[in-house]
Homo-oligomer: A and B are copies of this chain.
Amino acid sequence: MFVFLDNCRTTKLDEKVLDDMKIYFFEKFQRPDGIYLSAQEVHEEVSQAQEYFAKTINAQPEEIVFTSGATEANNMAIFGVARRLKEKGNHIIVSAIEHGSVMSIAKRLQKEGFEVDFLPVDSEGIIKLDELEKLIKPTTILVSVISVAHFVGSLEPLKEISEILKKSNHKIYFHTDAAERYAKLPIDVEDFGIDLMSVSGHKFHGPKGIGFLYVRKNTPFEPLIFGASSFDKRRPGGENVPGIMGMRKAAEIAFDKMEENIKKFTGLRDYMINRIEKEIPDVTLNGARGEKRTPYNVNFSFKYIEGEAISLALSMEGVEVATGSACASENLQPNYAILAIGGDHARAHGSIRFTFGFNNTKEEIDYTVDKLKEVVERLRSMSPIKSDDDLEKYMGSGEELHKHEEVDSNA
């Protein structure tokens, strides 16, 4: 059996999405900036897609900028506002569990002379609103908080954040990386008070290489990419029309079934959590339970063993998942989200993330838990660590990590 449970990294394209893309590959392959009639038609259809996306989040069509994905959207939003407002203030707040792209941007901004605070989260991965209040100062220009924490699945209190920002006597712009929320849970930019929002097509069975940024009207903003404007001055370049139209189709499918999906996956999520907690000893759920957790994420740490080995062993059984182990990360660091919620290195290394796509079934979840049990048991039998005492004895400082990195970069 093949079970893909890494849908937070990417998803399989929906077959119906390709049907729509084909039109723009072969029939209406023209770009919207041509002068001929077919191009004018493409222009109109891309405009309609813009309108469609705007409607799904209660925004205006011209507030939607198409990008190559959420990474670019995050860059465009955060650099766009920060660099533009540098004169007004240089303080930015991002949460401690942002996606790597926002983290890298934040670090880059520090280099450019911005002051960046990393907003802490509680043990469930939810940002601390009172800390946010404390961090705000007259130079704060932008706050960026992820909509749904991509690793531990916590739902961040977007509306409460924007209400705090509104209480400030100067304007603080609010960006959210909604890659894991859009098309999966409702978003209303008016109600939530969002100024900028990043979305990625390949997170909901749409194409890779396409996304959009919502930018509220009159938000000060400068482009990231300069060029020959055609459809949209804010993001020049040959428009990825098949991508846009494919993402539209994927969104339509998702919005049509959103209620149903939420219900189904809330059930599956809790079913899976229950089975794992009942049937596998020495596990720790990472993130919140119930209402505060996205229906599409389950994340556990398995004591005494390491996540890369777990996920590779699962993959041999046809089950594909993610891990927070240092060994599976590019920079050989344990997952910072686990550390942010108060976990130690072992908990990060032993963490496995299961994320649902719209087509996962109960049968697949059952198969996954069955295989997981076997794999965890087998790996534990191989491990020199058998108890919490062993854990403590062999914990070490984590300093060796850096030694590893050196070896790696010399290799």
Contacts and interface: CB of A to CB of B under 8 A. Distances in A.
A75 B226 contact: yes
B25 A72 contact: no
Given A226-B75, A226-B101, A38 B208 contact: no
A156 interface: no
Interface stretch (A233-241, A386-394, A395-403): A233-241
Interface stretch (A167-175, A265-273, A275-283, A315-323): A315-323
Contacts of A99: 228
Interface string A28-57: 011101111111000000000000000000
| Most chain B CB within a 10 A radius of its CB, from A30, A38, A228, A233 | A228
Interface residues of A, number: 72
A240 B208 CA distance: 5
Contacts of A10: 29-31, 238
A35 B75 contact: no
A361 interface: no
Nearest to A99: B228
A242 B201 CA distance: 13
A29 B11 contact: yes
A75 B223 CA distance: 11
Interface in A1-31: 4, 6, 9-13, 15, 18, 22, 25-26, 29-31
Contact of A33 (B11, B237, B239, B330): B330
Interface string A123-166: 00000000000000000000000000000000000000000000
Given A31-B10, A226-B101, A236-B101, A68 B38 contact: no
Give the one of A4, A15, A25 with max B CB within 10 A: A25
Contacts of A38: 315, 320
A380 to B, nearest CB: 19
Nearest to A100: B228
B13 A29 contact: yes
A29 B202 CA distance: 10
Nearest to A37: B315
A26 B35 contact: no
B26 A22 contact: no
A2 to B, nearest CB: 9
Contacts of A71: 225, 227-228, 236-238
A284 interface: no
Contacts of A253: none
A74 interface: yes
Contacts of A69: 237-238, 240
A323 B35 CA distance: 8
Contacts of A314: 36
Given A236-B101, A242-B207, A225 B75 contact: yes
A176 B139 CA distance: 42
A20 B238 CA distance: 22
A312 interface: yes
Contacts of A243: 208-209
A70 B237 CA distance: 8
9 contacts: A4-B30, A12-B25, A35-B315, A39-B320, A68-B209, A202-B238, A209-B210, A224-B225, A229-B331
